[in-house]
Structure 1
C-alpha cells in the first residue's frame, strides 16, 4: 500500500509544482478579467471635477460610502468631518491602486489582503448602510441559488484573492522579477 501511495505522490508532484506557478497567475488573470473594471468604474464615479478630482470626491462618493451619514446631514458634504473625507479618499485610491498592483503582480500579497479588507468593508456598507438585509442581497450558502451578491459572489472574489495571499503573484509578475527568491 505504501508503494502505491508513494507512486501516486511521485506522479502528482509535478502537478503540485505546476500549480504553485500557474494557480496564482490564473487568479490574477481572473481578477483582471472579472473584477478590475468593476472596481475601476466604481472608483471613477467617486472622482470630483478637474485634474485634482481625487482630492475633492463627488457627492456620489460620499453617498456610496456614508449613506446614512449623508442622509443625516441632508446630503451637505460640508457638514461631514475630515474622517469622512479621509475614508472616501482612501477608498477611492484603493479602488485604483490595489487592482493595478494585483494585475502587474507588485506587492501582490499585501494588495490582495488590502482588497479582501476592501471587499469586507464594501459588503458591510452594502448590508448596513444601504439596507442590504432588507433588500435581500445577502444571499445564503448551501441553498440552491448561487447568485447572492454578498455571500455567494463575494466569497468567490475573496477566494481568488486568498490564492494570491497564500501563493504570491506566481509567474510573470513584478514581484518575481524584483524578488528572485519570492514564491
Structure 2
C-alpha cells in the first residue's frame, strides 16, 4: 500500500464529497442567482429544523436557500480544484450538520460519510494534487 501516494485518496475524497453537493446545488437554480421554485418551496414551507424533539421553521428561509445554493456550487468547485481545501471542506461539514438537523433520518447513508470525508480534508488538506500545494510551492 505504500505505493499509493497519499495525495491520491485525498483527491478521491475531494471528488466524492464535491459531487453530491454540486448536483444538489444545480437543482436550486433556474438561472444566474434565480432560485428555482422547488428551492423556494422547500426552504420556505417544507424544511424544518429538528432540535430536541421539536420542529422549527428555518429562520430567514430565502436567505438560507440562497446561501445553500451558492455554497453548494462554490465549495465543491474549490474542493475539486484543491483551492482553499480546508475552508471548503469545513463549509461542507457545517452544511452537513445543518442538513442532519433538517433531515435526521439521513445520518447513516449520507451525513455520516459526508462528515467523515469533510473532516478528513479539514485535517489533512487537499494533498499534492491540489492548487493549494501549488500555491505553497510558489511561496
The answer to whether TM tops 0.5 is yes
- Match of 1:107? 84
1:65·1:88 contact (CA, 8 Å) conserved in 2? yes
1:29·1:103 contact (CA, 8 Å) conserved in 2? no
Aligned: 1:154 with 2:111: yes
Which is strand-richer, 1 or 2?
Answer: 2
Q: Aligned ranges for residues 1-183 of structure 1 at < 5 Å? A: 22=6, 25-32=8-15, 34-48=16-30, 50=31, 52=32, 54=33, 56-68=34-46, 83-127=60-104, 137=105, 149-180=106-137
| TM-score, normalised by the number of residues in structure 1 | 0.59
**Structure 2: distance between partners of 1:123 and 1:66:** 18
1:112·1:162 contact (CA, 8 Å) conserved in 2? yes
2:82·2:131 contact (CA, 8 Å) conserved in 1? yes
The CA deviation at 1:105 is: 0.6
1:25·1:169 contact (CA, 8 Å) conserved in 2? no
**Structure 2: distance between partners of 1:43 and 1:157:** 15
**Structure 2: distance between partners of 1:69 and 1:153:** 17
SS in 2 for 1:106: coil
For these two proteins, the number of residue pairs brought into alignment is 128
The CA deviation at 1:64 is: 2.7
Residue 158 and residue 150 in structure 1: after superposition, are their counterparts in 2 closer, same or farther (change >3 A)? Answer: same
Higher RCO, 1 or 2 (CA under 8 Å, sep at least 6)? 2
What's the Cα RMSD here?
2.8
Q: Gaps spanning 5+ residues in structure 1: where?
A: 1-14, 71-81, 128-136, 138-148
**Structure 2: distance between partners of 1:84 and 1:97:** 20
SS in 1 for 2:100: helix
Residue 161 and residue 25 in structure 1: after superposition, are their counterparts in 2 closer, same or farther (change >3 A)? Answer: farther
> Highest CA radius of gyration, 1 or 2?
1
Q: Gaps spanning 5+ residues in structure 2: where?
A: 49-58
